[in-house]
Amino acid sequence: MPDARLTRRGLFFTAGAGVLGVAVLSGCDSAKPPPAPPSAPPPSPAEVGAWKRVDLSYVSAYLLVRGNEVAVVDLGTPGSEAAIEEGLKAAGQSWAAVKHVILTHQHDDHVGGLAEVSKVVRASFYAGILDVDSIITDAGLKPVKQGDEVFGLQIIDTPGHTLGHISVFDPSNGVLVSGDALRTNTGSLTGSDPRYTTDPVRAAKSVKKLAKMDIKAILPGHGGPVLVDAAGELQRLAASLA
C-alpha cells in the first residue's frame, strides 16, 4: 500500500529558497541560549494526506503524490522550477512523474515557472476557463471550471482575485489548495489581497462559498497552511465579510 506509507510519512517540508529562511546560530559559545521549551506536537500528518508544500519564500507550490504520479498546483515566480524540482526529489519523485499541472490563476507569481516547465515536462496543464487566454504559453493549457475533475481533484471556481481564479479540493482528505482566494501571510486566515483583486465582491462571495464546504486543511498561495480548525477559521472569515 504505497499510498498509506506516504500518508504516514512527514508531509510538509520546505525546499529551495525556503531553506534560506532558517538561521543557524553557531559559534556563540559564551552565551548559549536556554534549551527550547517543548513545543506542541504538530498536527497529524494524515490531515493533509499526500500533499507536500514547496515553500518558495514569497509564494508556495504544492505537490500531490499518489502512487507513481504527481500533480503540481502552481509554479511560483519565474525561476521557481529548480526549487520545485528539489521538492519533487525530496518526495522521491521527479518531473517525469508529474502528469498534471494546475494553475490557480494567471498572475506571474503562480505561473512564473511555466515557460521552463512546459519545455521539459510531459504533463497536462490546466487553468480556469476565464484565465486561460491571459496566460501566454505554448503548453496547450486546458480550460477547467467548477465540476471538472483532475487526478481525482475537484476544480472549484473561486473568482474575484482574478475572474478565472480556481481552487483545488481533494475530496479524499478535505485539503483545499486555495491559490490567492485565501492567504495566511498576514498572520491569520484572510481573503484575497485587495491590492491585487480584480473583483472584491466576487472574491468575498468565493470565501463564503468555500466556508460551506467540508474543508479540513487549507494550503494557500501565500503563507503557511491552516491545519487546525480550517472550516471554523473559514466560517469566521466569511462572517466578517460584508
Task: Return residues touching Zn ion (CB under 5 A).
Answer: 109, 180, 221
Residue 30 has, within 13 A of its CA and on its CB side, a CA count of 0
Nearer to Zn ion, 85 or 180 (CB): 180
Q: Which is nearer to Zn ion, 81 or 180 (CB)?
A: 180
Residue 179 CB, nearest distance to Zn ion (Å)?
7
CB-wise, 61 or 98, nearer to Zn ion? 61
- Cell 466569511 found at: 238
Backbone angles phi, psi at 196, to 5 degrees: -125, 30
Q: Which is nearer to Zn ion, 93 or 104 (CB)?
A: 104
CB of 112 or CB of 221, closer to Zn ion: 221
Q: How far is the CB of 109 from Zn ion (least distance, A)?
A: 4
Cα separation, 73 vs 179, in Å, equals 9
To Zn ion, the closest distance from the beta carbon of 173 in angstroms equals 24
Q: Which is nearer to Zn ion, 49 or 221 (CB)?
A: 221
Name which of 170 and 180 has its Cβ closer to Zn ion: 180
Least Cα distance to 152 among 171, 166, 167 occurs for 171
Amino acid, single-letter form, for residue 33: P
